[in-house]
């Protein structure tokens, strides 16, 4: 009897040990905040590693990210310093306790300090910063221009006053993240205040933001590994041209684009023209910041079906930095295009650069960056996506 109890006890302990080992060795997948139809980028990368490794350097993937710890902050290469509004008011940029802070000083006395929790922008041109205030994401006073290596006052902020009070709303995150769950809270003065569920924010533009929910796709190919043709996933090449550029246009059609429902619900194959207040380009000259889709649609190259977003942009790879590489796309159709109005020396210079003349940089009328200790502003230059002959550039 005693021996039987001992055997039973050993068997129970062995079974318990197996369960413990399995639990400790199995990584439980966190549910995606968008719902059960979404697999998460880590699942995508497990089969598409090369694409994932390349996309990790892409501007879309890095359009926003959380800054957790010293390494994340240091990876941005931000210098300490200060921004002077006037002789009594300044903002210090300081590293404290392994994090980066923006610190307000009035008459030499520290009056407010906020830790940088979140950054917007890939860093090609600039970074914008935010901090969590309870369940709200608030924009910080200063931006950093990476090419000018300069701290500047955030666009639209007071010129003489330090301002920590602008909330980053869900409409901003619809183009600078992949998802966030929000809730409306009634304040004491009976106004509705937008707040976020912190753990629901998926930073950057991830795989499923552009390709749509992937759980069915993943499940099918795990069960049928011999099938190489993608199932339960939209094939972009099969979409009409208008629907292909609509997928980009959901974030590149201007800040006035509004929808009764969140644009997070937009899926590849949907059309933008079903969204209220969407406006097509009608010949005017919209601001170059954000209206890439409308400007491209006004281009002769687009109208004859020879140019679209992916003609020049590798949506999975690192951004091209050479105008010659972009110009080679132009030459695929315009190899022997004469430039009779250009001097011979200019034709030689422009042989590898179609872009500066036919897609010139223009000044945004909506964004400018105030510099320290001055009212002067650095203009924000953005390359127009209206491909055309600009006679004012011809000497």
Give the range among 75-79, 134-138, 208-212, 278-282 with minimum mean pLDDT.
278-282
Count of domains in the chain? 2
**In this predicted structure, what is the pLDDT of residue 188?**
76
Looking at the fold, whether 243 and 162 belong to one and the same domain comes out as: no
Please list, in sequence order, all residues whose beta carbon lies within 8 angstroms of the beta carbon of residue 386, skipping any fewer than 6 positions away: 295, 296, 298, 299, 359
In a domain? residue 29: no
Q: What's the pLDDT band for 185 if we cut at 50, 70, 90?
A: confident
Cβ pair 161, 89 in contact under 8 A: yes
DSSP tag of 134: T
Residue 67 clears pLDDT 80, i.e. is over it? yes
Looking at the fold, whether 247 and 294 belong to one and the same domain comes out as: yes
User: Which alpha helices (H) appear in the chain, and where do they start and end?
Assistant: 2-25, 41-47, 49-55, 70-74, 170-176, 207-211, 215-223, 241-249, 292-297, 300-303, 309-312, 323-334, 344-349, 355-358
What pLDDT, in 10s, does the model give residues 122-144? 998 999 999 999 999 999 999 99
Give the range among 165-174, 200-209, 335-344 with minimum mean pLDDT.
335-344
Looking at the fold, whether 306 and 192 belong to one and the same domain comes out as: no
Looking at the fold, whether 174 and 311 belong to one and the same domain comes out as: no
Looking at the fold, whether 123 and 185 belong to one and the same domain comes out as: yes
Looking at the fold, whether 196 and 342 belong to one and the same domain comes out as: no
**In this predicted structure, what is the pLDDT of residue 258?**
62
| More confident: 336 or 328 | 328
In a domain? residue 5: no
Burial class of 146 by CB neighbour count within 10 A (0 to 12, 13 to 18, 19+)? middle
In a domain? residue 325: yes
Q: What gap in Å lies between CA 315 and CA 317, rounded to an integer?
A: 6
In a domain? residue 352: yes
The domain boundary residue, chosen from 187, 204, 221: 204
What pLDDT, in 10s, does the model give residues 224-247? 999 999 999 998 888 999 899 999
DSSP tag of 69: S
Q: What gap in Å lies between CA 264 and CA 209, rounded to an integer?
A: 8
Q: What gap in Å lies between CA 392 and CA 394, rounded to an integer?
A: 6
In a domain? residue 335: yes
What pLDDT, in 10s, does the model give residues 143-181? 999 999 999 999 999 999 999 999 999 999 999 999 999
In a domain? residue 210: no
Residue 255 clears pLDDT 80, i.e. is over it? no
The domain boundary residue, chosen from 204, 225, 249: 204
In a domain? residue 288: yes
**Residue 297 CB coordination number (10 Å):** 19
Q: What's the pLDDT band for 279 if we cut at 50, 70, 90?
A: low
Share of the chain above pLDDT 70, in %: 87
Range of the structural domain that residue 278 is part of:
238-395
């Amino acid at each position: 009897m005693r021996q039987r109890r001992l055997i039973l006890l050993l068997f129970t302990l062995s079974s318990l040990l197996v369960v413990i080992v399995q639990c400790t060795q199995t990584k439980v997948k966190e549910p995606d905040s968008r719902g059960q139809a979404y697999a998460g980028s880590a699942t995508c990368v497990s089969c598409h590693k090369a694409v994932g490794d390349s996309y990790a350097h892409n501007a879309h993937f890095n359009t926003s990210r959380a800054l957790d710890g010293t390494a994340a902050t240091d990876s941005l290469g931000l210098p300490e310093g200060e921004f002077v509004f006037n002789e009594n008011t300044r903002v210090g940029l300081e590293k404290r306790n392994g994090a980066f802070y923006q610190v307000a000083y009035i008459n030499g006395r520290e009056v407010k300090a906020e830790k940088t929790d979140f950054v917007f922008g890939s860093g090609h041109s600039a970074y914008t910063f935010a901090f969590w205030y309870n369940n709200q994401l608030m924009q910080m006073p200063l931006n950093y221009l990476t090419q000018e290596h300069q701290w500047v006052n955030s666009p639209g902020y007071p010129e003489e006053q330090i301002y920590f009070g602008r909330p980053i709303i869900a409409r901003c995150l619809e183009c600078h993240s992949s998802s966030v769950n929000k809730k409306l809270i009634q304040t004491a003065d009976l106004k509705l205040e937008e707040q976020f569920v912190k753990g629901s924010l998926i930073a950057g533009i991830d795989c499923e933001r552009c390709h749509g929910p992937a759980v069915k796709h993943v499940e099918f190919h795990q069960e049928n590994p011999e099938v190489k043709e993608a199932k339960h996933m939209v094939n972009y090449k099969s979409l009409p041209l208008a629907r292909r550029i609509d997928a980009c246009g959901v974030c590149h059609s201007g800040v006035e684009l509004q929808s009764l429902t969140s644009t997070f619900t937009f899926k590849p194959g949907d059309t933008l023209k079903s969204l209220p207040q969407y406006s097509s380009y009608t010949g005017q000259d919209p601001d170059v910041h954000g209206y890439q889709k409308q400007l491209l649609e006004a281009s002769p190259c687009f109208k004859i079906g020879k140019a679209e977003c992916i003609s020049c942009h590798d949506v999975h790879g690192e951004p091209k930095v050479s105008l010659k590489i972009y110009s080679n796309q132009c030459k695929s159709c315009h190899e022997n295009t004469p430039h009779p109005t250009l001097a011979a020396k200019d034709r030689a210079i422009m042989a590898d650069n179609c872009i500066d003349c036919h897609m010139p940089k223009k000044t945004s009328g909506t964004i400018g960056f105030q510099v320290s200790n001055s009212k002067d502003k650095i203009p924000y230059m953005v390359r127009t996506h209206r491909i055309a002959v600009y006679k004012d550039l011809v000497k």
